[in-house]
Structure 1
Amino acid sequence: MWAGCYTADRNGKGEGITALSADDHGKLTSLGVAVEANSPSFLALHPTLPVVYAVAEEGKTVRAYRRTSDATLEAFGEPWPAGEATCHVAADPQGRFIVATCWGDGQVILYELDNDGGITSRTTAVAAVDPHSTAPVDDERPSRAHSSLMLPDGRVMTTDLGHDLVRVWQYIPGEGLQPDHQVILPKGSGPRHMARHHSGTVFVDTEYSVEVATVRMEPDGTYELTAIVPASVNKPFDGDSGAEIALSPDGRFAYMGVRGSNRICILKVSHNGSELEPLADVPCGGDWPRHHLVREGWLYVANEGSNDVVSFSLDPDTGLPDGPVSRVETGSPSALVLAG
């Protein structure tokens, strides 16, 4: 796994992108810093090439890195300008582009790629408009683009945490992202990250209300909000905020991290992805679970506040995590991706 992190420029303790390994028994080992970088807080992999894309959240850039060995990376091309607090990057499954989203100023930016995975151009999408405000600009509710998801039909879905929006885009080569339609979530919910179920349903976790929204595609290709449920069997505690959401490979369970009370909430997915039900909560094994990864019967949690990544075994029948089984220290981890 590659682990993104926060470094000193954002008061973090990391040094760059770190390489981690996990064996069949969940034991975690640090293989060291793969490449030094300033706050590479989110990472994405090229679908076919040994290239990793990382945001520099404080530096307001996006950069490509090329894999040079099992546990090392090197800078590939120059950093490209992004927006304020660029917090997420995702790669097109066909390797045509990457999309970066910016929490600080709401920008959604598409970067086209060449055949080697290098960045060649940059296009900023049209800004969001707050559907919950009557004023043209609401200073108390700034746009805060937070993540993107690539859809199987070639469209791109993004969240706007500040405007409570899920936006759907068409990719036009040479022109970037063009608006298709949008889904409005309840005011103050704060849509953050997304996970797509194999049925086509997209589950959206909310940072502020600590819930999970169900967004389903209608026959005409538009997505609609069909349900929103609490993430937890318990009420949110003061100071709680939703983090990452991920699905089990069989699609039967969803896992949502909650910072503050430091929990992983497990939800049962039923009726072919149309229904969600809170099932249980477990401690995250550390402090401030910013991100997590589900893989082959294991849950790996990046605890930013306690500077560690921990592993849990997942019961194949109940979906419940057991552990922590193993723990590895790494500075201010913020994202985990499989290195391939």
Structure 2
Amino acid sequence: MSIVSKRVLVTGGAGFLGSHLCERLVDAGHDVLCVDNYYTGRRSNVAHLLDSDRFEILRHDVTFSLFVEVDEIYNLACPASPVHYQHDPVQTTKTSVHGAINMLGLAKRTGAKIFQASTSEVYGDPTVHPQTEEYWGNVNPIGIRSCYDEGKRCAETLFFDYYRQHQLQIKVARIFNTYGPRMHPADGRVVSNFIVQALRGDPITIYGEGQQTRSFCYRDDLVEGFIRLMDTPAEVTGPINLGNPVEFTMLELAQNVIDLTGTSSKLTFQPLPADDPKQRQPDISKAKKYLDWEPKVKLREGLTHTIAYFEQLLKEID
């Protein structure tokens, strides 16, 4: 059966996840418009797509209106690591809130189906474990992470109000920790931090005692989840958790990175940052039910691919 080609807008399309999504959509035969202001995205992430007549890129900030004709919108635009979103917290909130308003307005005008890349950060420092979509969260509204947490929560509010008030076709995914090639080496996320430190022989920084947990989903699995959610019937709006339910402590992650890189790096311990969640693990029952989706890539396999990417990148940088 031939695939019907669609006009697809991906905001944040030159970022870590956006670039892989653009690649998948182009490979599937769709016409893709990648929009990015390059705050954290990089043109090099999509440079290999520029020769395709199905791909175009536009430098644009989603906090300003955009007038294009599209069938589907994937709204991924927003810095997603604490280092980047805390650098300009006001702009981070604007990107989540104004960006959502502008993209929802575009979807309303064009009749496009629209996907929101939300986050597990809407759960804050959870008191329920693992986290289901029905959990309302334990979020500090005035802390240093609030620009991201509350910005994404407000974006979800807007999506569901547009759905109820204007009957928009919406899809909301709550993304848990994701890793893989094209992560920014200075994004401050734990996987990239550990790998870069290990490859350079620097001490590996553990915050607190290293017993806080995260669940790591490889980028290919996550992008597959995006596409499956977008393709669900109209009544499936989400929010739906997308992430790997297998939980690791920071010490376990660090040991895996040390083993796979063969580094001589030692562990160094620093105070735990403010509002850093102690546990983060998704309940993916809904993803299994509605998307027939669950992660396939094991942590050590994904880390092997990611380490190879950073080895090559550091050669070019260093």
Q: Which has the higher contact order (CA 8 A, sep 6+)?
A: 2
Higher strand share: 1
More helix by share: 2
Q: Normalising to structure 1: TM-score of the pair?
A: 0.31
The TM-score, its normalising length taken from structure 2, stands at 0.32
